[in-house]
Every structure is written in C-alpha cells, then in structure tokens.
Chain A
Amino acid sequence: EAQVTQNPRYLITVTGKKLTVTCSQNMNHEYMSWYRQDPGLGLRQIYYSMNVEVTDKGDVPEGYKVSRKEKRNFPLILESPSPNQTSLYFCASSLGSGDNQPQHFGDGTRLSIL
C-alpha cells in the first residue's frame, strides 16, 4: 500500500531534549516536505527536499533541521525543543520531477513540549 509513515504519532517531552520525528515513503517520490499545523494558521511549511541531499527552507524553518540521505526518508530534527514548537506535524511526499504534483500526507505527529 502506498503510504507516508510518520513516527511517533504522539510525543510529550520537555524543553531542550533533542528529538527526531521520522518520515518514510514507499512510493519512490523525489519530493518530501514537512509542515506544522496550528489553529487558525493552516499548514506552514518548515523544510522541503526536492531530492536526495537537496533540502530547502520553507516559511518557518527556525528551530528545526532536516536531512535527506536516502530517497525514502526525511527526518525532522528538533535539537533543542521549546514550548512554541508544540504543534501537529505532517510529512508529505510527491513525485516532484521538477514541477508541482499532488502531495500525499502522513497521518501526523502531535508534539507537546513542556
């Protein structure tokens, strides 16, 4: 089954404790992206990747890191999480190939930073 898989689905942690949210897709998609969703703000793009070893900042990259060492994986790293990063996070992927294609979203990760 074609899917985007995020882990964990839920996480409660404390300020300053490094965490990684994994994202994996099995569709051989070139493009992957991370979004955060907050009430009244819609989906805001954090980082995106057009291919292996190619990453770019979205609208809200501060406090986040990403890497794209393999095509299928695109982890989101919070080196020193803070309470303002409490949010619902979505990973997405698409064919890419130099143009916009429909994005397939994962089920989301709800992060609470205390």
Chain B
Amino acid sequence: GENVEQHPSTLSVQEGDSAVIKCTYSDSASNYFPWYKQELGKRPQLIIDIRSNVGEKKDQRIAVTLNKTAKHFSLHITETQPEDSAVYFCAASSIDSWGKLQFGAGTQVVVTP
C-alpha cells in the first residue's frame, strides 16, 4: 500500500521568511496530493491540492510542487505570518483506490514574530 513520509516534523521560521515542507510517497499510481492545515484544537482544513497532471500550483502565498519521477511533493509558504503557525499534513491517494487517503505524520510550523 501507499506510504507517505513527511519532513521535517517541526519547523521554526522567522516572520516574513519562507517555509518548505517535503513529502515522499511510495505508490507510483498516486495521482492526488492534498495539503491540510490544522490549528491547535481545530479540525484539519484543506489549504491546497494538486493532481499528477500538474507540476506546480499556487494560491497567494502558498504553492505546491510535484515531482512524479522522484515521487515527492512539497509545500511552500512565502512571507510567513504568525497565523501560519499550525500543523501541516500532506496526503496521497491513487485513482485505483481513490477512497483511500494516506497522510504524512505532520509538520509543526512555528512562526516567530
């Protein structure tokens, strides 16, 4: 089955700097890669997703890149703000078993003013 590894587990950045979180996946049939943000005590919320027919997707300060050959994808947050502090999860799913979503272990991002 699919295995998703996420690094780093914690990330501390100065406000205004960029943050990058990386994930690798094992199933070459995976074609859907969402990213979720979970603030303390809250539910996970989708912030961006990418499908395998696209190499990069951007939404304001957030971007995701996908390298299908290397089987890894990354989340980039530019001009970080204190409200970006949260746990971020990557996930992967295959069109063959699209109902199954495999999550990474999460990255705790702390943005210090």
Contact = CB atoms under 8 A, between A and B. Distances in A.
Nearest to A105: B43
Interface in B80-106: 89, 91, 93, 95, 98-106
Contacts of A98: 98
Interface stretch (B13-21, B44-52, B59-67, B70-78): B44-52
Nearest to B6: A42
Interface string A31-43: 1010100001111
Contact of A42 (B43, B46, B100, B105): B105
B89 A42 contact: yes
Interface residues of A, number: 26
**Residue among B42, B95, B99, B106 with max Cβ neighbours from chain A (10 Å):** B99
Interface stretch (A21-29, A44-52, A69-77, A79-87): A44-52
B1 interface: yes
Given A43-B44, A43-B89, A99 B95 contact: yes
A48 B99 contact: yes
A103 B89 contact: no
Given A103-B46, A103-B101, 20 more contacts: A35-B103, A40-B105, A42-B105, A43-B91, A43-B103, A45-B100, A45-B102, A45-B103, A56-B100, A58-B100, A98-B98, A100-B31, A100-B34, A100-B98, A102-B34, A102-B46, A105-B43, A105-B44, A105-B45, A107-B42
